[in-house]
Amino acid sequence: MPAGCGHARAAWLGAALLALGVLGLLLGASVGSTGLGSVFKARHDPVAWQIVWDIRLPRTLGAWLAGALLGLAGAVAQGLFRNPLADPYLLGSASGAALAMALAFAVLGVSGLVAGGSGAALAQAASPWLARLGLTGAAFVGALAGVLLTLVLAQGVQQTMRLLLAGVVVGYVLGAVRDLVQLAQPDVLQAMQGFTLGITGFIGWGACGVMAAMLAPLLLAAWLLARVLDALTLGEATAQSLGLPLAPLRALLIAVLALATGTAVAQTGLIGFVGLVAPHLVRGLARSTHGPLLVLSALAGGLLLMAADIAARVLIAPQELPVGVLTAVLGGVYLLWLMKRR
């Protein structure tokens, strides 16, 4: 396919994903536990409008923002490691965030809180610094700490295989430590359920602001580093022959991956398959270089998680499915279909 045709197709796909995202936002604002209602009619009812404005809209927009961060991180991970099965949690960010949350719950001595929780329990925390940091902050710091530990074990970013192996080791070790914390304090296990299953019901406007403030600069940084990913697809030797300083540029890409993943995980918990599937969907619809691919993956990831969030509210209404369970099922079915087709 000629380059011009590929870019035009990518532009049309981006416009379609944006339009679907706007429609999804309106649909998500209209879907509640009582069924489907009109967001425009709700403006004439103060109580209904408060539900739409304070609960449904930030939840739906937050799901889109978290999905966009995971989609961006997934595209960066797959380009960085030259592996279509790479996902945002590959470098230990998920296990680090989960361990930090378990430790925070253990210190707080409370149960029933999930990702995004705060309030009186935090105000009564034994550690003042933990009360100021909050649960979402602890998850974010834990995700970054997991990635940093992976970098330390891999002795830098020079060798991709060492990074992959170190990420696997960190994931298992930190996961085992989290299990020990949960065994020591069984109440932590109940409090961690929402985080490990993935949940969007506690996203508010503050969380949306945090994710939006992180998504914009990270998307710009990834766009500027897209040439590095294009060069890496040809192999490290070829990339080095082009005169690219691979070590610092790879470190910047890992920083983008870690920050995007940590921000999303801190607000929604562990939601799988979005970062893995979104780049695959984009590649199947529009072949392009990594610049457009990164943007399209973010848009596709946002749309996927938003659609999963709406479906999680509808399928067993008035109850809700954990959105992470739904994305895992749908993502697994998609990958099985992809495997059979190829």
Is 269 in contact with 194 (CB distance < 8 Å)? yes
Is 294 in contact with 72 (CB distance < 8 Å)? yes
Q: What percent of the chain has pLDDT over 70?
A: 86
Give residue 199's pLDDT band: very low, low, confident or very high (50, 70, 90): confident
Comparing 10 with 40, the larger pLDDT belongs to: 10
CA gap 107, 188 in Å, rounded: 10
Q: State the average pLDDT over residues 57-79.
A: 94
Residue in the structure block whose two tokens are 């902050």: 137
Which residue segments constitute the domains of the chain, with CATH numbers given? 9-341 (1.10.3470.10)
CA gap 284, 56 in Å, rounded: 32
Residues 23-66 pLDDT 10s = 999 888 887 655 556 555 656 667 777 888 888 899 999 999 99
Residue in the structure block whose two tokens are 């470098």: 91
Q: So what's the pLDDT on residue 104?
A: 84
- Helices (H) and strands (E) in the chain — how many of each? 15, 2
CA gap 268, 115 in Å, rounded: 6
Mean pLDDT of the chain: 83
Q: State the average pLDDT over residues 195-212.
A: 89
